[in-house]
Amino acid sequence: MRRSSLWSTRLGVYFAVIGSAVGLGNIWRFPFVVSENGGGAFVLIYIFIGLIVGVPILAAELMLGRLTRKGLLAGTKDILSSFQMSHHSKSLKRIMSLSSYFVVIVAFLMLAYLLLISSWVSYFFIEFVRSVFVDLNYEPESMFFRLRDNLFYQIVLIILNLLLILFFVIRGIERQIERWVSFIVPFFVLFFILLTIKSLSLNLSTQALRYFFYPDFTKLNLASLSYALGQVMFTLSIGLGLTVSFGRHLNSKFNIPANSFRVATVDSTLSLFAGLLVFPLVMSGLFEVSSVKGPSLVFEAIPVFLLKIENGLFYALALFLFLYVSSLGACMGLFETLTSNLEEINKKRHRKTSFQVASLALLLTLLPAILFSKMNTLKMLNMSLFEFFDFILVNVLLPASGLVVVFLVLFYMSDSVRRTEFFGNIKIVDDKMYTQWLFALKYIIPFVCLMSFAMLLIHVFS
């Protein structure tokens, strides 16, 4: 069995955690979720949830990986086998073990979802490359709908992206991936900030800023908390076993609590910049606001804007190239996480496990692809079936998955082990930080998740 060597340096891990969702989580999903949940009030809740839920879970997952030096499945098995249990608690042990497989199922669904969105990004990049050489003979507003109506083309792009990921993983070029991720993320951020500045120069940018930052709590609904919770976990890539895999390569000098906070801060900042980029475009009059909403928001708004400014084609090519690289990196990280987890448990060869993961991911990707293309007119709970798939996966399954590591760390680790792994070999130890983190795991996170699920159910059935 091949042992993975992904993200073995401090800087590599730092950028890998940030780069695992930069692009799709921040630029694509965050703006349309904000637009559906009232703007500024939702942004405040999102930032607050990121602080009290996202940071503690991220720290717990990195800590679990560093402690066990294994993926989630094998790490959970080791933790449970070393924990002294009474006869009464053996059933709880089985439930906890099965829960780790639930996380893997959610990770497979998320990989399928990300592969579909990555195919959208690659389509836009290909179309912009084509436009350099030939006249496309259609308006940029129609690009997204042309893609939606062509299921076969989406599947072809999904297969090509999956084959590329499979090639990289089987060839074992993880160290090159580490350098690639570390290199691309800072340039992506700088370029993204440049586009945001250009967007803010448009008319009505002041109105967009007011919508985005002024907290009008009357525009929130009972589902807004679940949207904020899901969005935090989506952009931080927690609840998928991914950051557990990152943590397995951390040394004891890596400051987990401090770096978890830094990663969440960078992640939230990029999400805010995404809103500052998109909402001035929506309110500028470049297109009909009523037609731009949901998952298509960014894919409709940004191309229209870029192709109407000077050197816009260059900006479009650069943006979608960066987005494609980041989306492919997110898919690759999740693919490698699933492969290594199954490889550790089943003791199978890396190549065989990789092909099995790729085959299952392809089959699962057909579900959101068909919902998006062939069943886009069907509704459930006033959402298209594709939006309903996103709703359940991100707002329900992902938070439930995130609770697995929380309970594992809380109930199946001794306090001395938790404390040791939380601080590592940090010379300056603030015991209050540990106490606050433990309080968040015990009370705040379960309470927020239960409130989120309860309010979501009331919203759905009211």
Per-residue model confidence as pLDDT tens digits over 380-399: 888 888 889 999 999 999 99
pLDDT cut 70: percent of the chain above it: 86
Quick one: how far is CA 292 from the chain centroid?
A: 23
Give the model's pLDDT for residue 6. Answer: 42
CATH number of 10-461: 1.20.1740.10
More confident residue, 177 or 69: 69
pLDDT category at 443 given cuts 50, 70, 90 is very high
Give the model's pLDDT for residue 368. Answer: 92
pLDDT category at 7 given cuts 50, 70, 90 is very low
What integer is the mean pLDDT of 231-243?
91
What integer is the mean pLDDT of 298-319?
80
3-state secondary structure the chain: CCCCCCCCCHHHHHHHHHHCCCCHHHHHHHHHHHHCCCCHHHHHHHHHHHHHHHHHHHHHHHHHHHHHCCCHHHHHHHHHHHCCCCCCCHHHHHHHHHHHHHHHHHHHHHHHHHHHHHHHHHHHHHHHHHHHHCCCCCCHHHHHHHHHCCHHHHHHHHHHHHHHHHHHHHHCCHHHHHHHHHHHHHHHHHHHHHHHHHHHCCCCHHHHHHHHHCCCHHHCCCCHHHHHHHHHHHHHCCCCCHHHHHHCCCCCCCCHHHHHHHHHHHHHHHHHHHHHHHHHHHCCCCCCHHHCCHHHHHHHHHHHHHCCCCCHHHHHHHHHHHHHHHHHHHHHHHHHHHHHHHHHHHCCCHHHHHHHHHHHHHHHHHHHHHHHHCCCCCEECCEEHHHHHHHHHHHHHHHHHHHHHHHHHHHCCCHHHHHHHHHCCCCCCCHHHHHHHHHHHHHHHHHHHHHHHHHHHHHHHC
Give the model's pLDDT for residue 289. Answer: 43
Instruction: Give me the residue spans of the domains in the chain.
Output: 10-461
Give the model's pLDDT for residue 212. Answer: 85
Whole-number average pLDDT of the chain:
83
What integer is the mean pLDDT of 282-296?
57
Give the model's pLDDT for residue 232. Answer: 94
pTM for the model? 0.90
pLDDT category at 8 given cuts 50, 70, 90 is very low
More confident residue, 395 or 351: 395
Residue 111 reports pLDDT greater than 90: yes
More confident residue, 87 or 179: 179
